[in-house]
């Protein structure tokens, strides 16, 4: 929401960069749900054997062991719309940021659809 109500959007979220910057050091729970559509017509698609879609939430753009959350899904050849979610807890220092990355091994063009979301909540310091 743009204004206060049931939820409050804090100053840490930058809608232009897509990054959430931690105002305080602590444990944060992150969640994202992405609705992704293929932009390539079915008849042009090559076999999806081994094709997968990884969605990651990474700290400081470093998707290394113990500094990211990850979900992996196989891309089925019959589908045009996929939904993939990632949820978990990460520790951020004050001033560090977290953001969402999509790793598409299928090579076909994908579009993140409206209605997708990304959130961060401070659990404690």
How many whole angstroms separate alpha carbon 8 and alpha carbon 113? 23
- 86 burial type by CB count under 10 A (0-12 exposed, 13-18 middle, 19+ buried): buried
Phi/psi zone of residue 33: left (φ > 0), alpha (ψ -120 to 50 degrees), beta? beta
Q: Which residues pair with 69 in a beta bridge?
A: 57
pLDDT class for 94, splitting at 50, 70, 90? very high
Predicted structure pTM score = 0.80
Q: Angle at Cα 111 formed by Cα 85 and Cα 20, nearest 5°?
A: 55
Domain residues of the chain, as ranges?
A: 16-39+47-124
Q: Which residues of 42-60 are buried (b: 16+ CB within 10 A; e: fewer)?
A: eeebeebeebebbbbbbbe
Average per-residue pLDDT in the chain? Answer: 82
At residue 39 the predicted structure's pLDDT band, cuts being 50, 70 and 90, is confident
Fold of 16-39+47-124: Jelly Rolls (2.60.120)
pLDDT, residue 1, reads 46
Q: What is the pLDDT of residue 101?
A: 92
Rounded to a whole number of angstroms, the distance between the first and last alpha carbons of the chain is 25
Q: Is the pLDDT of residue 110 over 60?
A: yes
């Amino acid at each position: 929401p743009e204004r206060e109500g049931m939820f409050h959007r804090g100053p840490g979220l930058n809608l232009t960069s897509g990054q959430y910057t931690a105002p305080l050091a602590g444990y944060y729970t992150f969640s994202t749900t992405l609705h992704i559509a293929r932009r390539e017509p079915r008849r042009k698609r090559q076999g999806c054997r081994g094709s997968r879609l990884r969605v990651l939430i990474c700290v400081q753009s470093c998707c290394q062991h113990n500094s990211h959350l990850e979900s992996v899904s196989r891309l089925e050849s019959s589908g045009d719309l996929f939904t993939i979610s990632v949820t978990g807890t990460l520790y951020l220092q004050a001033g560090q940021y977290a953001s969402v990355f999509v790793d598409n091994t299928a090579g076909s063009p994908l579009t993140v659809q409206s209605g997708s979301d990304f959130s961060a909540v401070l659990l404690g310091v």
